[in-house]
Chain A
Amino acid sequence: MPLSMKTNLLKPLAVVFAGLLLTSCVKDTDFDQADDITLTPVVELDLIYFNIEAGEFYDEITDMPILTLSDTTEIRFLDDTEIQESLRRADFYFRFTNSIPRNFEVDFQFLSEQNDTTYITGTSVIEGTIENPVVTEFEQIIEGDDIVQLTMADRVVVSVTIPDSDPSLEGTLNLKSKTTYYLEIRDRE
């Protein structure tokens, strides 16, 4: 076969095949939509818990009541940059079970690394008895500007205040708590 004929045939074939490859394309797509991709997980996570015996509100050595107990824990993830950018709403849920015959005031004070108070919430807990412990539920939904405040904190100070106490006081104040975090994670370049 003469070479000229080969090339004559080959050219159109090559053109057709190359054409097929080159015209193949990605159609009807819009990759800018990638900017809209947003993950919106809702995460349930335990927060703090405690059991305070009635006796802890009375100092037997000095024979004096201790009217306020407080303790602090870090919640270090709260002021992470990712959380600050992504957290849209946080629902705190506290469930107290009280068998001490006293009402309590419980305060939650959120502090920043610089010791500034960024957010405060609190509730009253109804008195109960050993035979009939009383459950007090408290929910706090935090969103909008409050979320900005909350996510500047990395610690919470919990203060439990009793109006009065004496050595004979009995019972336990139990707290269980959790937070529902509503996140909105997206590319923020």
Chain B
Amino acid sequence: MRNVLIFIMVLCLSDSLAQNKQLLYGLEEVPQSLLLNPGSRVPQKMHFGIPFLSQIHVNGGATGLTVFDIFGESNIDINERIRNKIFEMDNKDFFTATQQLEIINFGWRAKNEIYFSGGVYQEFDFITYFPRDLAILAWEGNRDYLDYPFDLGEVSATADLLTVYHFGANKQITKKLTAGVRVKLYSSMMSIRSTNNQGTFTTTLGDVNSENIYEHTVSNADVTVNTSGIASLEDMESSEIPGEVIGRAFFGGNFGIGADLGVTYDINNRLTASASVLDLGVVFHSNDVETYAATGSYTLDGIELVFPPLSAGQSTLPYYDNLEDEIEAAIPIDTITSGYSQLRPVKFNAALKYSFGKTVGNSSDCDCRNMGGGVERAQAAGVQFYSILRPKGPQMAGTLFYYRRLWDFLSAKATYTVDPYSFSNVGLGVVTDIGKFNFYIAADNLLHYGNLAKAKSVSLQLGFNIKFDEE
């Protein structure tokens, strides 16, 4: 149990609102910003990511809880602190972790002025909502909760490990408008999901007509767990599993398709709007699929003894087996091996950017070849919006940002983000271009870097690329 707890805590330490890369969004110096908006403007002529190092992204977060809340040094007993937290949090609170590792990333501008880009990355994405009622039941038991319907529907979690192959095209269509599209092929290595559950468990004190003291009732249970790529691992030696899973990264597993869409539009030469929709896609799970579904209602009264007249040596009725059979008949747990499809968590980004300060690069206020188009300036500020579709509805974040190109080789972006975790998330990203060598690093929740244990979420992205600028 301890290992599991620490694992969850470490996951939580490792990334903010899953996959909100507010620092990289719109940061055109970083080629990976094309993965956040395929319709972003692309300044370079060609780029390659350094394999396995072009984007390393980790993100972990928990609403309503920090590692410090539980493991901080304190005179209060840890069990008391856990208990207090269980009652403080609600079933909208969640724990999440995301990790991405880019294996390959490349892009080039073709003769027709279309910037093509593609690559492969691996992604792990996990979210679980806090099943408050079940936590209370496990922590306290049912004695003090007679007549309280414990909600089984609070169980809501997904975990996915997959590889994404992607290829996109981006073009400046008019002076003001740049648009792009990216198609994705998902190869799922492992997936587990339990969402849209329902049912209650209630213990009530029986009355005179009741069979026994209590009635323990499971009412309208409908609990489903979808697994893909997991059942076949159960029979394997633990040493064989990593090899098997890695093997699926390349054409094993289950496949899916999806798309990213994005646009950037210059409203005038200072104001730019952009938006993107990412992972508009579906994964079809058909191989190595096991779905467990439990549905039904049942009231447990205990075991009724009937004192059957028995001759010597004769055994009585198998009450316990009968009870188990009765429960299984009332709430059967079916194992279904037919496939299912799973929507990817759709992400939506939007930004409005106001540029100011001196102009940089080749652009100027009066560029006759670029009438009405945006002008690159040394500073910008603006707002961003991010949303990801999760099992219990969208999670949203708003960001204020300030961008500054300090020198030709160095740009920085600072963000202040409000999301379900906190109102104090300050982030900083830095990009350097030294010759053809591009390096970026971005981290948020900097105010908590003094003590990560007190952070509700942490997000980090870094990577190395080779870029060839336009002549």
**CB within 8 Å of B: which residues of A?**
1, 3, 6-7, 9-10, 13, 17, 20-21, 23-31, 33-50, 52, 56, 69-76, 93, 95, 158, 160, 176-178, 180-181, 183, 186-187, 189
**Other-chain contact of A187, B2, B210, B410 (Cβ < 8 Å):** B2
Candidates A24, A48, A93, A187; contact of B452 at CB < 8 Å: A24
Interface of chain B residues 314 through 344 with chain A (CB within 8 A): 315-316, 318-321
B146 within 8 A of A: yes
- Taking a contact as CB atoms under 8 Å apart, the answer to whether A29 and B68 are in contact is yes
The verdict on A25 contacting B451 (CB below 8 Å), with A13-B430, A33-B78, A52-B307 known, is yes
Asked if B453 and A158 make an inter-chain contact with CB atoms under 8 angstroms apart, the answer reads no
Q: Which residues of A contact B143 (CB under 8 A)?
A: 42-44, 180
B residues in contact with A71, CB < 8 Å: 305-308, 316
Nearest CB on B from A63, distance (A): 15
A47 adjacent to B302 (CB under 8 Å): yes
Taking the closest CB of chain B, its distance from the CB of A167, in whole angstroms, is: 16
Report yes or no: B212 in contact with A25, Cβ–Cβ below 8 A.
no
Q: Which residues of B contact A69 (CB under 8 A)?
A: 307
**A12-B139 Cα distance, complex, nearest whole Å:** 51
- Contact partners of B319 in chain A: CB under 8 A: 73-74
Question: Using Cβ atoms and an 8 Å threshold, which residues of chain B touch A10?
Answer: 409-410, 432, 434
Partner-contacting stretch, out of B33-41, B69-77, B167-175, B281-289: B69-77
- Interface pick from B122-130, B183-191, B351-359, B441-449: B441-449
Q: Which residues of A contact B82 (CB under 8 A)?
A: 37
Contact across chains for B452 and A26 when beta carbons are under 8 A apart: yes
Among candidates A9, A21, A73, residue contacting B303 with C-beta atoms closer than 8 Å: A73
**Given A26-B452, A28-B68, A28-B451; A56-B307 close (CB under 8 Å):** yes
Residues in B whose Cβ lies below 8 Å from that of A52: 307
Please indicate which of the listed interface residues B143, B210, B213, B216 has the most CB atoms of chain A within 10 Å of its own CB: B213
A112→B1 CA distance, assembly (Å) = 30
Residue in contact with A46 in the complex, picked from B302, B306, B430, B446, CB distance below 8 Å: B302
CB-CB nearest in chain B for A180 = B143
Given contacts A21-B443, A42-B140, A46-B302, 14 further A-B contacts (CB under 8 A): A3-B434, A10-B432, A23-B449, A24-B449, A29-B67, A29-B73, A30-B72, A37-B78, A45-B216, A49-B301, A56-B307, A74-B320, A176-B210, A178-B302
Which of A39, A50, A176 is in CB contact (< 8 Å) with B138? Answer: A39
A160 to B306, CA, bound (A): 12
Q: B79 interface residue, CB < 8 Å from A?
A: yes
Residue of B nearest to A30 (CB): B73
Distance between Cα atoms of A92 and B319 in the complex (Å): 20
A160: chain B residues within 8 A (beta carbon): 307
Cβ of B437 to closest chain A Cβ, rounded Å? 11
Which residues from chain A contact B451 at a C-beta distance below 8 Å?
Answer: 25-28
- In the complex, which residue of chain B has the Cβ closest to the Cβ of A26? B453
Question: What residues on B are CB-neighbors of A49 within 8 Å?
Answer: 211-212, 301-305
Chain B residues within 8 Å of A46, by CB: 212-214, 216, 300-302
Cβ 8 A contact of A93, one of B213, B407, B441: B213
Contact with A along B153-178 (1 / 0, CB 8 A): 00000000000000000000000000
Chain A positions within 8 Å of B407 at CB level: 1, 6, 9
CB pair A41–B140 under 8 Å, yes or no, is: yes
**Given A20-B449, A49-B301, A187-B2: A42 in contact with B141 (beta carbons within 8 A):** yes
Contact B216 A26 (CB under 8 A): no
Complex formed: what's the CA distance from A35 to B240 in Å?
Answer: 31
B13 within 8 Å of A by Cβ? Answer: yes
Known: A21-B443, A37-B2. A47 touches B453 (CB 8 A): no
Bound CA–CA A17/B408 (angstroms): 19
Q: A34–B410 contact, CB under 8 A?
A: no
Q: A1-B408, A34-B5, A37-B79 are in contact. Are A177 and B212 (CB under 8 A)?
A: yes
Instruction: Collect the chain B residues with CB atoms within 8 Å of residue A42's CB.
Output: 140-144
Q: Which of A3, A6, A34, A76 contacts B71 (CB 8 A)?
A: A34
Contact status of A26 and B214, CB under 8 A, knowing A17-B430, A49-B301: no
A90 to B216, CA, bound (A): 19
Are B320 and A43 touching (Cβ within 8 A)? no
Q: Given the complex, which residues of B lie within 8 Å of A48, measured CB to CB?
A: 302-305
Q: Does B246 contact A (CB under 8 A)?
A: no
Does B371 have its Cβ within 8 Å of any Cβ on chain A?
no
Closest B-chain residue to A175, C-beta based?
B305
Contact A43 B71 (CB under 8 A): no
A36:B78 contact, CB within 8 angstroms: yes
Min CB distance, B114 to chain A, in Å?
32
B233 within 8 A of A: no
21 A/B residue pairs, CB under 8 Å, sorted by A: A6-B434, A17-B430, A20-B449, A26-B451, A34-B78, A36-B77, A37-B78, A39-B139, A40-B139, A41-B139, A42-B141, A43-B142, A45-B302, A46-B212, A48-B302, A71-B307, A73-B305, A74-B320, A95-B213, A183-B141, A186-B1
The CA-CA distance from A29 to B70 in the complex, in Å, is 9
Taking the complex as formed, is B6 at the interface, i.e. its CB lies under 8 A from any CB of chain A? yes
A13 touches B212 (CB 8 A): no
Min CB–CB distance B314 → chain A (angstroms)? 11
Q: Which residues of A contact B216 (CB under 8 A)?
A: 45-46
Residue pair A50, B307 in contact (C-beta under 8 Å)? yes
Report how far A6 CA is from B453 CA in the complex, Å.
36
How far, in whole Å, are A33 and B304 apart by their CA atoms in the complex? 44
A41 touches B320 (CB 8 A): no
* Residue from B78, B216, B441 having most chain A Cβ neighbours under 10 A: B78
The reply to whether the CB of B203 lies closer than 8 angstroms to some CB of chain A is yes
Task: Give CA–CA (A56, B430) in the complex, Å.
Answer: 87
Question: In the bound complex, do residue A72 and residue B212 qualify as a contact, i.e. CB atoms below 8 Å apart?
Answer: no
Nearest to B300 among chain A residues (CB) is A46
Closest 10 CB pairs of A and B: A46-B302, A41-B141, A24-B449, A74-B320, A42-B141, A73-B319, A42-B143, A178-B213, A34-B2, A26-B453
